[in-house]
Homo-oligomer: A and B are copies of this chain.
Amino acid sequence: MTQGSDPKTDTRKRILDIAEQLLLSRGFNAFSYQHISSELGVRNAAIHYHFPKKSDLGVALIQRYRRRFRRFIEQQAELDPGAQLEAYFGLSDSYYRQHRQICPSGILSTEFLTLPEDMQREAAAFIDEMRQWAVDITRRGAASGQMRYAGTPEAIGMMLFSALQGALQLARIDDGALDTIKRQVRAVLGLPGH
């Protein structure tokens, strides 16, 4: 079987990919190793070989999100705050288009109290980074004069982050919610396109 075998292991990455889909559409508590192994075409124990405990898999998932998110920020570093916000909106869109998935922070904060301790630590750090980034955008947006809004950059950054997280969840019931809320966030920030 020489089908795209990688130096490291392909399987580990594929497990993470499948687990990610399951996490975003069903949540951490509502998917099992069975779901992954049957989709992957291996036995259950193969998943345990790569991730002995389910919380190991969970932690690895969040750590990968954090790495990706840091890379995402670096790539957008040269853009102006408004364009960065639009890039963030684009992320949300792609979640939604993928079978009405929601953003990871939404799942992790909702299930937070039921998560294993090591996942809680990782999740809290991840969500904090995202929140800080949102605040950073609104701060620079106001400083550069591109954005005009009532309230502090901290508060409006958190509100936009929170509203977008909620929007993806509501979009599961109300198709238009995500677009409506994106438009309204632009309006509140004094940006064009609403």
| Residue ranges of A at the interface with B (Cβ–Cβ < 8 Å) | 25-27, 29-30, 100, 102, 105-107, 109-114, 123-124, 127-128, 131, 149-152, 154-156, 158-159, 161-167, 169-170, 172-174, 177, 180-181, 183-185, 187-188, 190, 194
| Additional pairs, 8, CB under 8 Å, beyond known A27-B27, A27-B111, A159-B167 | A109-B173, A113-B172, A124-B173, A155-B183, A156-B187, A162-B167, A162-B169, A163-B163
Report the minimum CB–CB distance from A191 to chain B (whole Å).
10
| 4 A-B pairs with least C-beta separation | A162-B166, A151-B187, A166-B166, A155-B184
Report the minimum CB–CB distance from A183 to chain B (whole Å).
6
Bound CA–CA A116/B151 (angstroms): 42
- Nearest residue (CB) in B for A163 is B163
Contacts A110-B106, A113-B100 given; indicate if A159 touches B184 (C-beta within 8 A): yes
Write out the residue numbers on chain B whose beta carbons fall within 8 Å of the beta carbon of A109. 169-170, 172-173
Most buried by B among A159, A172, A180: A159
Identical subunits present:
2
Report the minimum CB–CB distance from A7 to chain B (whole Å).
36
Instruction: Tell which of B100, B112, B114, B158 touches A184, judged by Cβ atoms closer than 8 Å.
Output: B158
Bound CA–CA A111/B100 (angstroms): 12
- Contact (Cβ within 8 A) B174 A128: yes
- Nearest residue (CB) in B for A190 is B150
Bound CA–CA A123/B169 (angstroms): 13
Bound CA–CA A123/B173 (angstroms): 9
Report the minimum CB–CB distance from A172 to chain B (whole Å).
5
- Contact (Cβ within 8 A) B112 A30: no
Instruction: Tell which of B30, B112, B162, B190 touches A177, judged by Cβ atoms closer than 8 Å.
Output: B162
